Each structure stands twice: as structure tokens, then as C-alpha cells.
Amino acid sequence: MQAILEAIQAGASGEEIGNLQVPESYRAAFVKRDEQTMWEGVASEDKDPRQSLHVGEVATPELAPDEVYVAVMASAINFNTVWTSIFEPLSTFGFLDRLGKESKWGARHALPYHVVGSDASGVVVRVGSAVRNWKPGDKVTVHCNYLDDQDPSAHDDSMLAANQRIWGFESNFGGLADLALVKANQLMPKPAHLTWEEAACNALCNSTSYRMIVSRHAGDLKQGEAVLIWGATGGIGGYAVQYVLNGGGTPVGVVSSEKRANLLREMGCEHVIDRREKDYKFWKDEHTQDESEWRRLGKDIRGLIGRDVDTVFEHPGRSTFGASVFAAARGGKIVTCAATSGYMIEYDNRHLWMKLKSIVSSHFANYKEAWAANQLICEGKVQPLLSKTFSLEQTGEAALAVHKNQIEGKAGVLCLAPEAGLGIDDPEFRAKVGEDKITLFQRFGA
């Protein structure tokens, strides 16, 4: 990959880059099939991704006609890489085996190792024979909606496609590597004013939050609506705050430290709840919730904004879901995309049906939504949430930090990029957007 990196750094033309040889193997972060039972009997919080995530050479897969190879300059850690690395709730090798049975091209994915990572920024180095809109030399970011668009189910909302997958989680050859295998319909232009690592950290979380807050498929936010955002300085929460503010809504952000509360205020989120300080005990014990604690949260929200929230941005899952259903206003909605603390959810259904509330499910984003979310980054209207940057060799350490809730916003990972800070093609626009705004999380993460 060294020759490709040197060509990119020297500003070689697309034609020159396209003529370079793609190596037969490349450096990647992966988990191993023969280690998928290594954590049996170990509590989630004690599982250390540094032991299960390895960095080494893997063979370059054959390129399908609708795919491209991307020389990955930078990637990012998403919570799905934490899930893969602790083999919870399932080992991802089951996903790869299912994909492996689908077609000749799917069979490439069922291997003894799983190259992880669902975000990337980089440069296209080779395109398959059916690729029309992209060419070698294009600077791109990659979104993770991975699907077979020859299936009719993919042609209304592609998140409803029967074979929809998350790239680098439910497929192999993901972004935490020097080279990635990507379908052409995952590509988006790299924001020219951002560094490689600032550009790499957005697509998965930004697109997810766009759908959850903005899209008619989920949040469909209207001006003036109030939204309770759990984990408001986290990966998806930090983008959600920006979408609510941009859309004329009122975010109420929940975080767990004074530092994060200050960061939220810097983002322009006036209404902040520090859940550690409030010490909510939504669960009396493992089996019993405490409605008086839900009421305390509702009272705290009303104390801040004078009313209930129209929407709850829900992802912690079991620990908060009962409170989220309670706290939404009459006729309001709970938009959920995850269950970090447990997926067997309990809530009091009376609070749902008597007050005509709805639970809306959301999962990543279709290409159009991901593109719209990327465009907002390109236009400087949504800022990257990069707070800390790791090397590819440190992927396990970075995943551990996310697992332990030690990262604000996003953890970036340098792949081919030899150092942080490279890749800015439009410094004038960067200055116009504002260095302070772009690097807010980096300054707080430092």
C-alpha cells in the first residue's frame, strides 16, 4: 500500500492512481473465528477488546463488478465494533456465514477472520466494471448501508431491503484497514474542508441521527419541538443535538459529567441534565422499575423547558426505556435505534396507549438520507464530532475506550494517513466554517 499512499500524497492523477497495482494483502483490524467463544462466562464490562481485536495482514478479496477498492486514510470506532469485539449479543461470524451462502460474491466474506469497521475516508483506487459514477482518485467517505439493489425490496426505502446489512459489521472487509472493499452505492464525496480523520468519523453516526431526527421515516422533527437526547455528547447523540438545533427545535441533552455538560452548552444546547448528579434510579432492582424516578425525570425536564418533550432520542435501552416512554409528551414519540444496556425492554404500556404515544424504530439510513447528512457536513452546517485519534495498531485500545464510555463524540483511527491533520483541500472554507466549531470535540477530548 506504500506506493498508493505515496501517489496520493504526491497528488497523482486519478489515471496514475488507477494504474498502480493493488497489493495481494493489506493491513487490517480483525477478530478471529476460532476466538469467538473466548469470553464465555465473562461479564460484558470485563471483556477487553484489546485481546480480541488483532492487527495484521489479510488477503485482498477479488473485486466484484459493482464494487470499488478504497485506500483508507482514516476510519473510526463505532459501537458495532465494540459489539463484534466482545462477541455480543451474537458473534458476527454468523452474519458472514449467511452472506456467504447468498452468492458467489457473498462467499468471499465467510472467512476465519472478520475485518471490522463501518466508517472510512480515503481515495478510490480501482472500480469494478459496472461502476459508473466514481473513478480512481476520487476522495470519498463511505456509508455503511450494504445491500443488493437487484432485489425489489430495496427500492422504496432501502433500509427495508430484505438483504440489508451494515458493512464492516454484517459484512467482511470493513474500514479499519488500509484497504476497504466497498459497493459503489456506499460512496459519498469527502468534505473538502476536513482532515481525513474528521471526515472519517461521521457517516455512520451522522446518518443514523439524521434519520432518527430529520427524516420522515423516523423523527420528522418540526420547528419548535422539544427532544430529549440520551448520551447527548456521544456518537449519535452529538449529531442529534445539532439536528434539533438546526431544525428549530429544543434539545434537552442528558450526559453523565460536568465536562460533558459544559461541552453540550458550548454546542448551543441550553438545557442540560447531568444524570450522574441527578442519580436517577429507574430500576429498584434487576426486575422492578420505579415510577417515582420516571416522574422525577419528567419534573426535571419541565423545570428546564416548561413542558414535556415531543420526542425522545432513545438508545441506552433497558436502563432508560421505561423512563423514556413516561417522559414523552401526550402524542409524542420515542425513536429508538439501539439498546446498549440491554435489549429486553420493559415499559408501562398504560403510559403509551392512554397518551397516544408511539415507539418508532430506526436503523442507520438509506443512501439518500446518508447523502443528505454528508452534504450538511460538506456545507459546514453539521460539524464532525472527532475528539480523539488512535493509530490502526491501537484499534483495540480505541474500542476499549468506547466500551468504557470514556470518549466524547467519536474516536478516529488513522489507517494509511501517516499523521493526524492531513487531507484538508479547502482551507478557505474551513476558515469560513470556523476552526473552533470544527474542532470543538477535539479540544474537549484533549
Interaction site with ligand NDP (CB under 6 A) = 78-80, 204-205, 208, 230-231, 233-237, 254-256, 260, 275, 315-316, 319-320, 337-338, 340-341, 363-364, 402, 405
- From the CB of 351, what's the least distance to ligand NDP, in Å? 19
Residue number, 251 or 316, with CB nearest to ligand NDP: 316
Residue number, 137 or 231, with CB nearest to ligand NDP: 231
Label each residue of the chain as H, E or C.
CHHHHHHHHCCCCHHHHHHCCCCCEEEEEEEEHHHCCCCCCCCHHHCCHHHHCEEEEEECCCCCCCEEEEEEEEEEECHHHHHHHCCCCCCCHHHHHHHHCCCCCHHHHCCCEEECCCCEEEEEEEECCCCCCCCCCCEEEECCEECCCCCHHHCCCHHHCCCCEECCCCCCCCCCECEEEEEHHHEEECCCCCCHHHHHCCHHHHHHHHHHHCCCCCCCCCCCCEEEECCCCCHHHHHHHHHHHHCCCEEEEEECCHHHHHHHHHCCCCEEEEHHHHCCCCEEECCEECHHHHHHHHHHHHHHHCCCEEEEEECCCCCCHHHHHHHEEEEEEEEECCCCCCCCCCCCHHHHHCCCCEEEECCCCCHHHHHHHHHHHHCCCCCCCEEEEEEHHHHHHHHHHHHCCCCCCEEEEECCCCCCCCCCCCHHHHHHHCHHHHCHHHHHHC
- From the CB of 129, what's the least distance to ligand NDP, in Å? 31
Residue number, 250 or 320, with CB nearest to ligand NDP: 320
- From the CB of 7, what's the least distance to ligand NDP, in Å? 34
Q: Give the residue among 264, 262, 267, 294 at the shortest CA–CA distance from 278.
A: 294
- From the CB of 336, what's the least distance to ligand NDP, in Å? 9
- From the CB of 429, what's the least distance to ligand NDP, in Å? 27
Residue number, 262 or 319, with CB nearest to ligand NDP: 319
Q: How many CB atoms lie within 10 A of CB 21?
A: 9
- From the CB of 83, what's the least distance to ligand NDP, in Å? 6
Question: Can you tell me the distance from the alpha carbon of 196 to that of 85, in angstroms, rounded to the nearest whole number?
Answer: 25
- From the CB of 322, what's the least distance to ligand NDP, in Å? 12
- From the CB of 350, what's the least distance to ligand NDP, in Å? 23
Q: How many CB atoms lie within 10 A of CB 151?
A: 13
Residue number, 63 or 337, with CB nearest to ligand NDP: 337
- From the CB of 109, what's the least distance to ligand NDP, in Å? 20
Residue number, 236 or 416, with CB nearest to ligand NDP: 236
Residue number, 275 or 357, with CB nearest to ligand NDP: 275
| Residue appearing with cell numbers 464490562 | 45
- From the CB of 197, what's the least distance to ligand NDP, in Å? 16
Residue number, 267 or 337, with CB nearest to ligand NDP: 337
Residue number, 338 or 376, with CB nearest to ligand NDP: 338
Residue number, 199 or 407, with CB nearest to ligand NDP: 407
